[in-house]
Chains A and B, each alone.
Chain A
Amino acid sequence: MNLPLNKIVFVLDEFALKTPGQQLLDRFLAGYPRDGKFHRPSDARVIAHFTQKANAAAIEQRVRDFGLIVEPDLNKALADADGALLFTGSASKRACLERLPERARCFVWGLLAEKGNEARELIELSRQRRIVMSTGTALPVTWHLPQLPIPNGASIHEALVVALGEFPQGELEALECLLLLIERRWRPQKATRVFGYEGDAVWEAGRKKVWSWDLLSSALSRSDSPLGDPVKDGRTQNLVGLQLVQKLATKPRAWILEHHDGLRSQILMLDGVAKDFTFALRGSRGFARSGQIFRPVQPQQHEFSPLAAALENFFRSGELIAPLERSLTEVRLLEAFHRPEAKTKEGIGLSQA
């Protein structure tokens, strides 16, 4: 199925350069590199609706240069839309889902909702209204370095993601990376228990092999931006072997997810150690992978180009960018991460989350 795209609607709370909304709006308006060519979804009118006062000069520039249509009335903006992209809070998401025409496709940037019940309500609403909904960020569709695919059905016993950023945005990005990796394993099962660690407890957990130093070493070997001495004098450095990780990390956090099928997923939030996102996986029969989740340089941020391509496919075919199961899992896990019980010895069972 390859439907024509007549009307794409962006609903945005803000509009500033280098925000996801701007990056994707410009790609639908002006075009983006796709499969070695510059491509513009030229059949679609691009409509923007701003829930708050937006940067008038930036909007006017897009109206003038690329024919952006600004529609202050949400009902009119969404009427007859083939697809919508929402960069908004929960209330606006609900309002959009109530107004989008049946069978429209709707992409929600980032986390579907902060609370599980809100997320389930939005999913239920989309189903009632026969709207095909998907959520996410650019991280699951960007390149891995090296570009070695994780085969479907891979046997994965341990997975570790090294990420950075403030809680909870950093954790959401880490989950976006992790879930994509582990969804491909043989008969994936949900996480059933979450354990959280902060500060020195992270290193104590490492000492007790709650998470794997070997996997951390493997992941960090893929970093192009280790911090500390490499910044000062350019040297390469074995951050794990030289026991520098503990010294470099500021406010470290670790999250361990136990899954029904025995998989242990490990998220290490290590600001101060490296500036890029990396991962390592270990499975049976020698299966191992590690890599960098590549985020191209700013301001172009070309991880948004494969996302624009995936979104265009989604709008034309209804093929989901990410299963809603992943979106719900992210909401459930972030809710659990917020709860103090996660940092107790017993952790937190996800049925309680």
Chain B
Amino acid sequence: MRKNWTRREFLQTLGTASFAGTVAPFRTGPVIDAGKIRKKRVAIIATEIRRWSHAEHFVDRFLEGYGWEGRHHYPPFQLAGLYVDQAPPGDLTPDRARRHQSMKVYPTIAEALTLGTSRLAVDGVLIIGEHGKYPRNEKGQTLYPRHKFFKEVVKVFEASGRTVPVFNDKHLSTDWNQAKEMVADSKRLGFPFLAGSSLPVTYRIPALELPKGIKLRESVCVCYGGVDSYDFHGLETAQCMSERRAGGETGVSAIHAVRGERVWAELEKRPGTRELMFAALARSHTCRAPDGYTAIPPTVDWIRQASSDPVAYFIEHNDGFRTAMFLLNGYVQDFTYAGRSSNGEVFSTLMYLPMPGFSAVLANFFSPLVHNIEEMLLTGRAPYPIERTLLTTGMVEKAVESLHAGQTRLQTPELKVVYSAPAGSHFWRT
């Protein structure tokens, strides 16, 4: 059952996208059938749809709606075309297709975008290349087919002479050159391109908004998860704050990734970073306490004991700014941030993720991400720059390489990604 449309929602469905800034060789924007106004259509290109896979969270929010600003909000879009690469045990694709017959599942990406015709027939594309069984390379990176999916989308755009906004879930690729190519394609063809995960846009506790132009000197994120996986979330957590510093983002000059005991040895050399690590932990809701306790302030000794295989990335930016990220598996299960300004002031917050199977039933941190995607589809503008994801993609790739190369510090002249943060942070606070 669908609720009645509000006037605002109805008007939103009438809006045509406008694309400012770039000069594109192709026409951009939605198809307007002669004499008819229809809901904008969206295609989702996914690796797999099962309970709690990333694609499930996106598909269900478009099909079933989601809680937003105090009501159950139905996106004013029709999820019309779906391509799913794999069918794992518990595949939910048939169930969703059966219950939502306005959505058709197609055997190819091209057909999902053309809705079985010969030309692009949707007004937006989401590429959700996270989860599923894909090979790993020698560095341990999972080779999700995001670049491949993206290139197939671009092929349809080129063949149709028309582009539409694209969202890519998480980092762009495991390969820097592929990531660069994806961004270059979006610029070349002039379509809005948004990417990344929920971390920059989820609830912050407290609701910390760093003013744009702040004289920030260092950012630290403390989090958990795997290399080439949650490290991306951790780096995004830091980067969505760091990019707001005076002068904007200047790119990354060197990356040094370490693990195990070397984490603590490196931390010993960086008292300022250590202070920020504890400031971030003071926002965590999940620091594990020793047996017999539930929540007590940590010591380095206890963190060492609780987190048996820690990983840290130490990142130097071109303007002297520094980022550090700590994966402390076994000690924390959330994402916290701390930053220090030039006058020594420390800012910190928790990027709150209601996590299914742990602290919640729904992964509602996908709701603000879908909201930002909706904003792009409605306005034709990405609410925050693709360069954030490009740089974070590069940081992950180079950090993985640093670990693979024996935890050596790598110069990264190729990561000279220069960009300016948006005026607002677009995180969830309404």
Among A61, A222, A224, max chain B CB count under 10 A is at: A224
Q: With a CB–CB cut-off of 8 A, which chain A residues contact B298?
A: 38
A275 lies within 8 A of chain B by Cβ: yes
Report the separation of the CA atoms of residues A304 and B294 in the bound assembly, to the nearest whole angstrom: 11
Q: Are A230's CB and B72's CB within 8 A?
A: no
* Among A223, A236, A238, A297, contact of B3 (Cβ-Cβ < 8 Å): A238
**Interface size, B (range):** 35 or more
A-facing mask of B178-195, CB < 8 A → 1, else 0? 000000000000000000
* Among B57, B295, B352, B364, contact of A26 (Cβ-Cβ < 8 Å): B295
A-facing mask of B44-71, CB < 8 A → 1, else 0? 0000000110001100110011111011
Q: Are A26's CB and B51's CB within 8 A?
A: no
B306 lies within 8 A of chain A by Cβ: no
Q: Are A217's CB and B354's CB within 8 A?
A: no
A168 lies within 8 A of chain B by Cβ: no
Q: Are A38's CB and B64's CB within 8 A?
A: no
Q: With a CB–CB cut-off of 8 A, which chain A residues contact B283?
A: 33, 36
B265 lies within 8 A of chain A by Cβ: no
* Least CB distance, B8 to chain A, in whole angstroms: 14
B-facing mask of A27-66, CB < 8 A → 1, else 0? 1001111101110100000000000000001100100000
Q: Are A61's CB and B292's CB within 8 A?
A: yes
* A236-B71 contact, Cβ under 8 Å, with A33-B297, A38-B282, A147-B207: no
Q: Are B64's CB and A224's CB within 8 A?
A: no
* Among A18, A40, A241, A304, contact of B297 (Cβ-Cβ < 8 Å): A40
**Interface size, A (range):** 35 or more
* Among A37, A40, A294, contact of B282 (Cβ-Cβ < 8 Å): A37
Q: Which of B25-33, B233-241, B355-363 contacts A (4 or more CB under 8 A)?
A: B355-363
Q: With a CB–CB cut-off of 8 A, which chain A residues contact B73?
A: 221
* Least CB distance, B54 to chain A, in whole angstroms: 11
Report the separation of the CA atoms of residues A288 and B360 in the bound assembly, to the nearest whole angstrom: 25
* A280-B70 contact, Cβ under 8 Å, with A146-B203, A234-B52: yes
Q: Name which residue of chain A comes closest to B352, CB basis.
A: A145
The 7 closest A-B CB pairs, nearest first, are A221-B67, A38-B297, A224-B354, A290-B70, A224-B360, A300-B295, A30-B296
Which residues of A are interface residues toward B (Cβ below 8 A)?
17-18, 22-23, 26-27, 30-34, 36-38, 40, 57-58, 61, 143, 145-148, 217-218, 220-227, 230-238, 240-243, 275-276, 280, 288-290, 294, 296-302, 304-305
Which residues of B are interface residues toward A (Cβ below 8 A)?
1-3, 51-52, 56-57, 60-61, 64-68, 70-73, 92, 95, 203, 205-207, 278-279, 281-287, 289, 292-298, 338, 346-348, 352, 354, 356, 358-364, 428-430
